[in-house]
Structure 1
Amino acid sequence: MNSIRSPMAEALAREILPATVYVASAGVRQGQRDPFVDTVLAERGLSLGDRQPQRYEDMEDGYFDLIVTMAPEAHHVALDATGTASVEVEFWPMPDPSVVTGSREQILDAYRDVLKRIEERLVRRFGN
């Protein structure tokens, strides 16, 4: 729904990758912005600004060199959508922190863990 993992990855990629790299995130279903994402990003000095969740099919630019998916459903949709296009599609499985229950701090810890995993994967893939 482009409300948790993908926006986190977008914010981190904008911080890690050169400014000349075009970064955008999208989901397979319409979603709402997740306030826990804003909280854990702010802890790192990052922000999504006024960015709102968007669906892949609603994106203006459909040309990408690389598409990274973080959920099985998104991966299958990306593979179907790209068809024979010359684009790499990579699957980086990430847990969904929205399913975690408990105290606010336990839930935030799940979001922090996903943010850390995404950052490690970005650094491993692209260096820094």
Structure 2
Amino acid sequence: MAEGIMKRLYGTGCYVQSAGVKNDLEIDGFAIAVCQEIGVELSRHRVRSLDEMRGWGDDLSSFDLVVALTPASLHRALDLTRSYAIHVEYWPILDPTGMGQGREERLGYYRQTRDMILARILEKFGPARSGWSPPA
């Protein structure tokens, strides 16, 4: 969600890549649904891990900031970036995976997560540069 929201807000004004600790999941359908509600397209997003990024030739030293959304991703990011001048931040965001009973309740948790991510991005990076603003 974070990569899609960031790209929607700032367009090509910054380079954004999201990655997890491991890549054993497809993009979550609930994440796709709640992002579509605010005009963020995730259906073509590919799930990748930090190790895959390195394996594909992404130069981690070219990044200025890594934002970790889970304790596990924070530890992995700190480990991978320890020899680079990269700032690593931890944003404790609700992990909605497996939360709630039934579709509507689950969507509610995913909306909370989406809104938490959106708020943190706007707080950190300021107003959208793309001309887009999320629906209220």
Q: Same fold (TM over 0.5)?
A: yes
SS at match of 2:66: strand
- Percent identical pairs in the alignment equals 35
Give yes or no for contact 2:100–2:106 (8 Å, CA) kept in 1. yes
SS at match of 2:63: coil
Unaligned ranges ≥5, structure 2: 128-136
**1:14 and 2:7 are equivalent in the alignment:** yes
Cα distance in 2 for residues equivalent to 1:40 and 1:20? 24
Q: How does 1:1-128 map to 2 (within 5 A)?
A: 8-30=1-23, 31-59=25-53, 60-61=57-58, 62=60, 63-128=62-127
SS at match of 2:101: coil
Q: Residue 17 of structure 1: CA displacement?
A: 2.1
| Amino acid aligned to 1:124 | E
Q: Indicate the larger mover: 55-64 or 81-90.
A: 55-64
Q: Residue 16 of structure 1: CA displacement?
A: 1.6
- Displacement over 4 Å in runs of 4+: none
Cα distance in 1 for residues equivalent to 2:77 and 2:12? 25
Alpha-carbon distance change, 98 to 49 in structure 1, aligned in 2, over 3 angstroms: closer
SS at match of 1:101: coil
CA shift digits 1:37-60 (9 cap, x unpaired)? 110011111112422100111113
Tell me the TM-score normalized by structure 1. 0.89
SS at match of 1:47: coil
| Number of aligned residue pairs | 121
CA shift digits 1:68-91 (9 cap, x unpaired)? 000000000000000120100000
| Amino acid aligned to 2:66 | I
Tell me the TM-score normalized by structure 2. 0.84
